[in-house]
Amino acid sequence: MRNYKGMYIIKPDLTEDKIKVVVEEINKIFTDNGSEILSVNEWGLKDMAYEIQDYRKGYYVVFTASATPVAVEEYNRIANIREDIIRHIIVVE
């Protein structure tokens, strides 16, 4: 397993409860695939540098994980198809 740093931006029009559910579901992707979330840092609602899908703000979440390649692939796959995540990235630390 390698250490990764990732970030995703959640649509700003979700309620706090729905945001917590999204964060928990993303964390569960890693734990279900034999990986471990080391830290989660919720930056909260921030202005974006440019408009994405008609949104000027987004709810930023930054995380570090010790993950398998399978978990990273699954994270990318799920983040691409979820409608409540407007951007995501994961890189090797």
DSSP labels, 7-52: EEEE-TTS-HHHHHHHHHHHHHHHHHTT-EEEEEEEEEEEEEEEEE
- Mean pLDDT, residues 22-43: 95
pLDDT for 93 equals 87
Mean pLDDT of 32-58: 94
CA–CA distance, 53 with 41 (Å, rounded to integer): 24
CA distance 32 to 9: 22
Q: What is the mean pLDDT of the chain?
A: 95
Q: What is the pLDDT of residue 24?
A: 95
> What is the mean pLDDT of the segment spanning 36-40?
95
Contact by Cβ (8 Å): 88, 45: no
Q: What is the pLDDT of residues 9-29, one digit of tens each?
A: 999 999 999 999 999 999 999
Question: Which pLDDT tens digit goes with each residue over 49-83?
Answer: 999 999 999 999 999 999 999 999 999 999 999 99
Structure tokens at 29: 């992707």
